[in-house]
Structure 1
């Protein structure tokens, strides 16, 4: 793995802040899913967590990206971080008071998604400003490693917190660890906009979207990711699978939630070869097909270790895909467009899994757990091959 970006102090602080805070985020993920499941006994309601995330992600992600192109990005990152932290404190309060209202939980999740929708495109647009261009792909691989480690350790720590201290313990852990990310934002230098500044609003957002639509490579890099997540993301089915096959064990749930991220850690640690692949269009289709096959195999497995292993394979494919797509986007766009394009990227990356969670939860109620899980994985494989290879510009794309 290329670790040269860590030699830049500003990036190193951002990276370490994310490494710490994402453990807390992972703990909250497992706690929220389990709390909603216990309150409703419904995979559909667990899937609605995705919708509570999706609407703020779409609205504030696109708007936040436009704002990031027009204001000091350090200041905007701090504001978004405070919003996300406030949401964590709200969900902690409801747990401490024992309110147990699923709609209040959805509201806190939506507020947290608003903060994330502001910080994610802003942070993505900051990376090319504080690093040399040749270090950007390596930084994306390091970022993926951080997110993946948090997604592995966080749910496991969250499951342990649930078993010992209940929901409040898991949420309190998140609230404390999030301060590391806020500290990293505060230590950044001023990052005023470069180039022509476009007033934030609908016009600025549309300019960014038109830039994507005019580029087949960028557009298809978004489309194939949407296919992967909407068709094959099984996360909202984890509580039901745990209840049916593994006796409702909290540790099993934590392992399932962290399984894909474990594979992402392995993939990121051995990601040095990724930058040497030039036929990235075809390569993206291949790794997303691998993701779909791995998900389908996991849905057929009845041993916990086998489900975890197949989902880990899917995680390897997912992190490789993410590094390629993020690097293409960051290096393709001029600085005055990066915030808006990062906003659109964040909407796809964060919104796609939420739609996938809703799709999985809804179809499980109609065709059952196995049908929703396995059918989604196979549909992903067929669709991404047909769609991804049908666009010549994407099929023939070679990284510069």
Structure 2
């Protein structure tokens, strides 16, 4: 029943299928360091501030790599760029394993490895987004993005859970080694991808900085892309109240409920992913994205009114489901509305926004919540999300009207046949 509900059409494309199966392996076995690194940092320093500083180091490195790699991916064979990023991450995991076997590294070395992890992750995320439209045709992009997101969120849930159980049993070194070994499966899949050379219109004569600036000019000049990013930022920044979960739990529902709040959203995401065939065949991508953003804002506003714990969790799970729909069509629209010669740079900008948006949301909600309380802050954030999306639709009606042609059957693997 579950396999019937998941839209599996992109798996008929051999290159995508190999890459997706590899990502399925690495989603759990390659995500242990998400827990292992903070645990080691805290154990070696006894300071949560160090863990926070490492997160900042990782984000700065990721942002730098996302922009630079985006420019490189637009002028080089993307398969090779992706292979380099995955190889670099494997080297970082192996270095983490070696230092853990040797009894741990000094803090500067650990932070350097954290930076390496951020650099390679930014390169992989950016290049992967630019590669996908070259592997599957445009009408299958929602389904392909849905499958990728489903695997990613399963990794978010299962990876840290399994890592937390294994740390007392195996220690940190084994977890780092598992991450490195899982990436070998991904490296094989990337190596077997077809060649993905730069688009004929790509300009190779300019430096990376000028290429990055050209990407931002392209982004600013596209009303559709600006509208998509505006809707997505509204949903992430105004409507992501996770920073207030601890206070809300302590005041209203009991401290033990805070874990349930953090789990409800990804649970809804996974449920939506398992039922992706319900919405991935829709043609009106713009309306699906905007409608999902409005539904998310409404869910957040309703969540702020809930006095029953289970009702609040159900609303959060429903919000996670509609947010999955939002992200699925955001990716599909941004990929199809971007010229192939610019996809790397646009994906680089998207990577920064997707990682930085929730951080900005935490700062905004935490600051305002300290002044007026968690419930009013959450409710206002939900309403602002709805209002902002409606304003964007008014200013940029082309987003609401955006649709794709009816799907056609294909199992093509070559980039030429699959490029929208």
TM-score (norm 1): 0.81
1:128 corresponds in structure 2 to: 133
- Measured in 2, the distance between the counterparts of 1:16 and 1:359 equals 38
Which residue does 1:391 correspond to in 2? 395
1:288 partnered with 2:293: yes
Distance 1:68 1:320, change over 3 A: same
CA contact (8 A) 1:156 1:258 kept: no
C-alpha distance in structure 2 between counterparts of 1:105 and 1:123, whole Å: 27
Q: 1:105 to 1:184 in 2, by over 3 A?
A: same
Give CA-to-partner distance per residue, 1:86-131, whole Å, 9 cap, x none: 3334445565535685x76554333212112212222222222232
Distance 1:169 1:373 in 2: 43
78 and 95 in structure 1: CA distance in 2 versus 1, 3 angstrom threshold: same
Offset, 1:50: 4.9
1:78 aligned onto 2:83: yes
Determine if contact 2:15/2:135 at 8 Å carries over to the other structure: yes
1:185-264 matched pairs, under 5 angstroms: 185-199=190-204, 201-234=208-241, 253=259, 258-264=263-269
Deviation string for 1:238-297 (max 9, x for gaps)? 788899977789xx85x6655433322221222224345455445433322433454566
Distance 1:392 1:76, change over 3 A: closer
- Aligned residue pairs total 393
Q: 1:105 to 1:290 in 2, by over 3 A?
A: farther
Q: State the 1:226 CA deviation.
A: 1.8
Deviation at 1:15, TM superposition (A): 0.5
Residues 136 and 378 (structure 1), Cα distance of their counterparts in 2 relative to 1, 3 Å cut? closer
Flag structure 2 segments of 5+ consecutive residues without an equivalent: 1-5, 405-420
Q: Find the counterpart in structure 2 of residue 378 from structure 1.
A: 382
Identify the residue that residue 327 of structure 1 maps to in structure 2: 332
Report the secondary structure of 2:216's partner residue. Answer: helix
Q: Matched residues in 2 for 1:390 and 1:49: separation?
A: 41
Q: Considering only aligned residues, what root-mean-square deviation do their CA atoms show, in Å?
A: 3.8
8 Å contact from structure 2 (residues 231, 392) kept in 1? yes
Gaps spanning 5+ residues in structure 1: where? none
Provide the C-alpha distance between the structure 2 equivalents of 1:160 and 1:348, rounded to a whole number of angstroms. 32
Contact 1:73–1:122 (8 Å) recurs in 2: yes
Asked which structure has the greater CA Rg, the reply is 2
